[in-house]
Amino acid sequence: MGKIAIMGAMPEEIEPLLAKLENVKENAYGANVYYEGSYGTKEVVVAYSKIGKVFAALTATILIEKFGCEKLLFSGVAGAISDDLKIGDLVIADGLCQHDLDISAFGHPYGYVPEGEVCIATDVTLRNIAKSVAQKKGLTLKEGVIATGDQFVANPERKEWVGETFKASALEMEGASVAVVCNALNVPFFILRAISDSADMDAGFDFDTFLQSSAKISADFILDMVDQIEA
């Protein structure tokens, strides 16, 4: 059975995962720590990347190339764009785009660079596993585009622009870079987020207030998914 990578961006996003791992072995590599362990019958490697697209791309690459992970699940929090996403709600990405990638001066669409894609789709099998876990648990799972950028958005105009430009439901700071790496390396991947704030004027305060509780909602769901993943 192949190893499963589970990553977050911040310590708070992986702490609820580490609490439930067994036989944990810490591995320092590339200025970070990778936790190899087991969850039930599955071998997993857990790490937090640090915030932002560059650190997330580095960690995803190492999880795949150095630790040999064959699937990658991301767990963490996001700012809501859609009005129907409230704090604590779970959202899965059907696709991810980089809202801060801009060579529109050359006539290209926002989020696009030559030989890339504006929106990268997540693995359908993993999405279906998420839906079946949600159904079994009686949880509501929203699905939509998640927009990623190296900005904490606490600004209603920026939030609206990202929502309209990319038809995005939520925004965060890592998903699309993980998508680029996994897509290039042919590794099935999945991005789950629980809402911590609404990317508005209150976002900073809400994020600090709800980071831990929303991160746990996401992490608990990811572990239920690991149970359901086929070898």
Q: Strands 32-39, 120-121: parallel, antiparallel or unpaired by DSSP?
A: unpaired
The nearer residue to ligand ADE, 177 or 196, going by C-beta atoms, is: 196
Nearest distance from residue 155's CB to ligand ADE, in Å?
A: 9
Other C-beta atoms lying within 10 Å of the C-beta of residue 35:
18
Which residue in the list 89, 172, 174, 197 is annotated as catalytic?
Answer: 197
Q: Give the sign of the dihedral formed by CA 67, CA 64, CA 78, CA 131.
A: negative
Other C-beta atoms lying within 10 Å of the C-beta of residue 135:
10
Is residue 79 a contact point for ligand ADE (CB under 6 A)? yes
Residues 147-176 that bind ligand ADE (CB under 6 A): 152-154, 171-173
The nearer residue to ligand ADE, 91 or 153, going by C-beta atoms, is: 153
Is residue 203 a contact point for ligand ADE (CB under 6 A)? yes
Is residue 55 a contact point for ligand ADE (CB under 6 A)? no
Which residue in the list 13, 89, 172, 206 is annotated as catalytic?
Answer: 13
The nearer residue to ligand ADE, 44 or 85, going by C-beta atoms, is: 85
Is residue 207 a contact point for ligand ADE (CB under 6 A)? yes
Which of 163, 164, 175 has the alpha carbon at shortest distance from 199? 163
In whole angstroms, give the CA distance from residue 145 to residue 106: 25
In whole angstroms, give the CA distance from residue 155 to residue 158: 5
Is residue 12 a contact point for ligand ADE (CB under 6 A)? no
Terminal Cα-to-Cα distance of the chain (whole angstroms): 5
* Enzyme catalytic residues: 13, 197
- Can you give the binding site for ligand ADE, defined by CB under 6 A? 77-79, 152-154, 171-173, 196-197, 199, 203, 207
